[in-house]
Chains A and B, each alone.
Chain A
Amino acid sequence: MGDSAAAGGYKVVVDFDLCESNAICMDIAPEVFEVRDDDFLYILDETPGPDQRAKVDDSVSRCPKQAIKVEELDASSDKE
């Protein structure tokens, strides 16, 4: 399932209209998400490595506003 697709890489997408900076994602994956002094969420790494995938998936599940999505990147499109 998700794991096999992840071989082609993935992209972290946040719907900033939904995001309310609850900062749960920053708690789970501080390497990827950061809520700064201005109380806005910043994505530090839009295409994190496979080592971050479990944390990013947890962030998707635990976002209270369901504002985070993961898009699977097609391995072939990377080469273009």
Chain B
Amino acid sequence: MSAPASIAIVGASLAGLRAAETLRRSGFDGSLTLIGDEPHAPYDRPPLSKQFLSGEWDHTRLALIAPEKLAELHLDLRLGTRATGLDVGERAVTTSPTTIEASSAGDERVVADGILIATGARARTLPYAERPGLHVLRSRDDAELLHQALASGPRHVVVVGAGFIGAEVAATARQMGATVSMIELAEAPMIRGLGVDLGLFCAEVHRERDVDVRLGVGVDQILGDAAVTGVVLTDGSEITADVVVVGVGAVPNTEWLEGSGLALDNGVVCDDTCLAAPGIVAAGDVARWHNRLFDEVMRVEHWDNAVEQGMYAARRLLAQEAPEPFTPVPWFWSDQFDHKIQLAGRRADGDQTLTVTGSREDRKFASIFGRDGRIMAVFGFNRPRHVMKFRRLIAAGGSWDQARELADEMG
């Protein structure tokens, strides 16, 4: 197909913004619309569970782009505007205002030669009635509410779900002086990314900072009708709480695409070049694609993937022919207390594993994971340099023997 003269990006967070920057940097000078349902200019989410939650940073520190740089992109920027539908054949996005400020525009239709879908994901909720003291954490507004709750005095906090967000919130709340319990249905925290063994190591790290970590139990009910007063767990125990934070994962925002004809399956289904339909690509938390490096269909909710896939998808829209497939090594970091936890690649139960530097006792170590003679993942606890070196090797399809050699080299 010919080069697009107009592009609409749906989703004004990390993937969408980095895509817009990449389009301009690649010389695209056509009309570029960026649609976002939140009223705020693009902002960074990782600090929401850390520096912004603690109050160390105010919202100006969250900006993903300086106002003058944003202006230089010459965007048709539509904030407070939610996409409600997509006509795949016409490549038309219908939108609806979400704020009073944007409501004068009414429902609109944006037609473009290229569409980039980056609508992300939202916090999964549990079926409990909303009430004061019950929180989720996904947006800046969520974080402001939770900060106010935590900052208004010593609190009793229960975090439901010990994924990365939950574990970070637990750490930050503890550092703010709250008593904290972290409840996880699985047998270890962060089990999906880290597996049981490393997850239990992280549980130990939380326990030594006086987080009450409870594994293998769920929440039976949340007490308090007017406001949260506690939780009852599935093992019958009761915990007094005035703040409950539910961190039980995220759900991709694809409802607006139902009936559009795009394939949806826990995300927007794309080919191995992030193409969902002719002239339509997807990136970030919402995109599911075949990563040929791992021969796995994946949807990745990591910060770095939003950036890298946003950039790739932007270039994909401009490409005259299909480029090399998108084959990143997924990588994430999580800061909890003063520890930096990182994992790159795809770890699986039953992988062979080797500690390549340091020790758990020192709280500084890195381990690698391998399968079928290949290195598949690297985990670092306060060891970023090792993670990146091994990540390169994983990207190159390196063997387990090469990984052992690199371990010897790095010491």
**Choice from A3, A61, A66 contacting B44 with Cβ under 8 Å:** A66
Interface 1/0 per residue, A21-62 and B, CB below 8 Å: 111101100000001110100000000000000000110011
Residues on the B chain within 8 Å of A22, using CB: 333, 340, 342, 384, 388
Residue of B nearest to A1 (CB): B24
Residues on the B chain within 8 Å of A2, using CB: 25
Whether, in the assembled complex, A64 has its beta carbon less than 8 Å from a beta carbon of chain B, the answer is yes
Residues on the B chain within 8 Å of A26, using CB: 385, 388
**Choice from B24, B27, B307, B335 contacting A62 with Cβ under 8 Å:** B307
Do residues A20 and B384 form an inter-chain contact, with CB atoms below 8 A? yes
Do residues A1 and B25 form an inter-chain contact, with CB atoms below 8 A? yes
Residues on the B chain within 8 Å of A64, using CB: 46, 303-304, 333
Using known A-B contacts A20-B340, A64-B46, determine if residue A57 contacts B384 with beta carbons closer than 8 Å.
no
**Choice from A36, A37, A39, A62 contacting B304 with Cβ under 8 Å:** A62
Residues on the B chain within 8 Å of A61, using CB: 18, 21-22, 307, 311
Residues on the B chain within 8 Å of A58, using CB: 311
Query: Which residues in chain B, 1-54, are within 8 Å of chain A measured between CB atoms?
Result: 18, 21-22, 24-25, 27, 44, 46
Residues on the B chain within 8 Å of A21, using CB: 384-385
Do residues A39 and B25 form an inter-chain contact, with CB atoms below 8 A? no
Residue of B nearest to A62 (CB): B307
Do residues B27 and A3 form an inter-chain contact, with CB atoms below 8 A? yes
Whether, in the assembled complex, B391 has its beta carbon less than 8 Å from a beta carbon of chain A, the answer is yes
Extra 18 A-B pairs, beta carbons < 8 Å, given A35-B388, A36-B385, A64-B303 = A1-B25, A3-B27, A21-B384, A22-B333, A22-B340, A24-B331, A26-B388, A39-B384, A39-B385, A57-B25, A58-B311, A61-B21, A61-B22, A61-B311, A62-B304, A62-B308, A64-B304, A66-B44
**Choice from B22, B25, B391 contacting A27 with Cβ under 8 Å:** B391
Q: Is the interface of B mostly helix, strand, loop or mixed?
A: helix
Total CB contacts across the A-B interface at under 8 A: 52
Whether, in the assembled complex, B387 has its beta carbon less than 8 Å from a beta carbon of chain A, the answer is yes
CB distance from B381 to the nearest CB of A (A): 13
Residues on the A chain within 8 Å of B362, using CB: none
A12 to B304, CA, bound (A): 21
Whether, in the assembled complex, B72 has its beta carbon less than 8 Å from a beta carbon of chain A, the answer is yes
* Chain B residues within 8 Å of A, Cβ to Cβ: 18, 21-22, 24-25, 27, 44, 46, 64, 72, 303-304, 307-308, 311, 331, 333, 335, 340, 342, 383-385, 387-388, 391-392
Chain A interface category by residue count = 20 to 34
Residue of A nearest to B383 (CB): A39
A49 to B383, CA, bound (A): 31
Do residues A23 and B384 form an inter-chain contact, with CB atoms below 8 A? yes
In the assembled complex, 14 residue pairs joining A and B whose CB atoms fall closer than 8 Å, in A order, are A1-B25, A1-B72, A21-B384, A23-B387, A23-B388, A24-B331, A24-B388, A37-B385, A39-B383, A39-B385, A61-B307, A64-B46, A64-B333, A66-B44
**Choice from B25, B64, B304 contacting A24 with Cβ under 8 Å:** B304
A62 to B304, CA, bound (A): 7
Residue of A nearest to B391 (CB): A27
Residues on the A chain within 8 Å of B384, using CB: 20-23, 35, 39
Residues on the A chain within 8 Å of B44, using CB: 66
The 10 closest A-B pairs by CB, nearest first: A23-B388, A35-B385, A62-B307, A23-B384, A27-B388, A21-B384, A22-B384, A61-B18, A2-B25, A1-B24
